[in-house]
Each structure stands twice: as structure tokens, then as C-alpha cells.
Amino acid sequence: MKEKIRVTKEDFSIDEMKKEIIGDDAGALVVFNSVVCSTNKGHRVKSVEIQRYDDITLNELKKVREEVINNFKIDDIYIVHRYGLLKVGDNIVGIVVTAKHRDTAFDACRYSIDRLKEIVPLWRKEVKISE
């Protein structure tokens, strides 16, 4: 069985993540997939550099996963966050949640990304296109 938390420079596949956690009892599967956008706050973006704080980033992602498992009645959750230099359209974050009911899956997925933004040490630097 693969680890269901990853911090990686490599791209990831939402379809592969889904295959890893979908079970026969799941009635709902909710996906959050963040990608590099071409604009931010009125500026055109060329790329984004995401830096992490080595093991601490992974440990904090594990905490997010544990919080979700302990506080929501879900079947499973898989979280991937990329770092390094990413260009427009590249995947940044993937979260897949399975649960028996859709409301629970949606709530757990939203909590996951919100909590990740709060506690996981990642820094984002945008490379803007000069106008």
C-alpha cells in the first residue's frame, strides 16, 4: 500500500490517487485539484516556485490527514502537495476523499485544504510576466 501523504517535485495523477483509496463502501468521492493559474491579483503569472521545509512539511500534512480522519466520518483521504518550479497549468495540490455520504466527503475535503493552508509550511513565489 502506498503512503497517502506525499510532498514531491513530481507530477501526480488524480485518477491514480482515486484508484488508491476508492473502496466498495464509498458512496462519494470528492476531489480538490489546485493548479498554477495564469493570473493572480491582476498580474500575469509565468510560473510559481513552491518551497517546503523538508520533513516538517510532511509531518504537518500527516497532521491534517489525521485530523480529517478523526473528525469526519470518511473512509479515506489522500493528499499530495508539489514543490519546486511549476508552470501555468501544473498541478500543485491534490486531495481525494472517500466517504459513505457526499456531505461528509465535501466537508472533509474543504477542511483539508483550508487546514493545509493554515499549518503546513510551504512558501509560494510567483514569477510574473513583465508587461
Residue for grid cell 488508491: 20
Q: Residue 97 carries which DSSP code? A: E
Whether residue 2 is predicted with pLDDT greater than 70 in this model: the reply is no
Decide if pLDDT at 115 tops 70.
yes
**Is residue 93 within 8 Å of 77, Cβ to Cβ?**
no
Alpha-carbon torsion (80, 19, 89, 38), positive or negative: negative
36 secondary structure, DSSP code: -
Residue-wise pLDDT for 20-68, tens only, equals 999 898 999 999 999 999 998 889 999 999 999 888 999 999 999 999 9
pLDDT digits 0-9 by tens, 86-107: 999 999 999 999 999 999 999 9
Q: Which of 18-27, 82-91, 110-119 has the lowest mean pLDDT?
A: 18-27
Whether 131 has a pLDDT exceeding 60, the answer reads no
Q: Whole-model pTM?
A: 0.94
- The CATH number given to whatever domain includes residue 122 is 3.90.1170.40
Domain count, the chain: 1
Q: 13 phi and psi, to 5 degrees?
A: -115, 120
The H or E element spanning position 45 is strand 43-52
Residues 43 and 128 sit within 8 Å (Cβ to Cβ):
yes
Q: State the average pLDDT over residues 112-130.
A: 94
Quote the pLDDT of residue 1.
53
* Domain enclosing residue 23, as ranges: 5-128
